[in-house]
Amino acid sequence: MIIPSLDLIDGKVVRLYQGNYNQQCNYGNNPLLYLKNYKIQGAKMLHIADLSGAKFPKKRQIYLLKDILQDIKIPIQIGGGLRSSNEISSLLAAGATRVIIGSSAIQTREETKRWFHKFGPEAIVLALDIRINANNDKKIAIDGWQKTVDFTLEEIIKLYQPLGLKYVLCTDISRDGTLNGANVKLYQEISNIFPNISFQASGGIGTLNDIAALRGSGVKDVIIGTALLKGKFTLSEAIECWQKG
């Protein structure tokens, strides 16, 4: 499915260029307006990233997130630097369908495994952001992409597969915010290696042709943020394009 995405900083809707907090575009301070519009256009799920909480845990926008969850009655997956069982419990109790776990899945692996046992794999999306080098090694970046670690995408997926891992949101950092198209080859490759994982593609979507290019890639969902905010196409057009496949 097509999943529209909003990134939030201090209550404002923003987009970052390749994860850089110093390169952000502001799209106003009314995220509910966008989300309600996406719902009207046929969204079956929404994606929200709390970038304030991702960078500064004490600034997590929990009250705003709870307001959104109470107001928008469709499934929502929420992420942004989640680091504790209490944070996850709070969001799920407030109505989040899934929580997105990123850096914690790398830095606190044993704790993340406990979350899989406690909350179940249906409630967890692993967000694995990668940099691909000349050898096609898919190295994972953490801490808002400020640090690249030695773990590869494949290694982390294999680590959590025995726990029932189902959802992986994979972002090619070099494409994020560029509107230059998704890394179709990447998604074809990892979908072939891990056919039982529901991959969510993220990064680079700028045209309806970019969506069409992903239809045969093996990904189950496509996350779209910047293109919708910039009016490159409507959500309803994106959904229609995806369903043609």
Q: What does the alpha-carbon distance between residue 118 and residue 228 come to, in Å, rounded to a whole number?
A: 35
Asked whether the beta carbons of 242 and 211 are under 8 A apart, the reply is yes
Asked whether the beta carbons of 74 and 50 are under 8 A apart, the reply is no
Specify whether 129 is catalytic: yes
Q: Which of 10, 71, 129, 143 is catalytic?
A: 129
Interior/surface letters 196-217, b for 16+ CB within 10 angstroms, e for the rest: ebbbbbbbbbbebebbeebeeb
- Whole-angstrom CA distances from 207 to 92, 135, 220, 242 are 33, 29, 18, 12
Specify whether 71 is catalytic: no
Catalytic positions are 7, 129
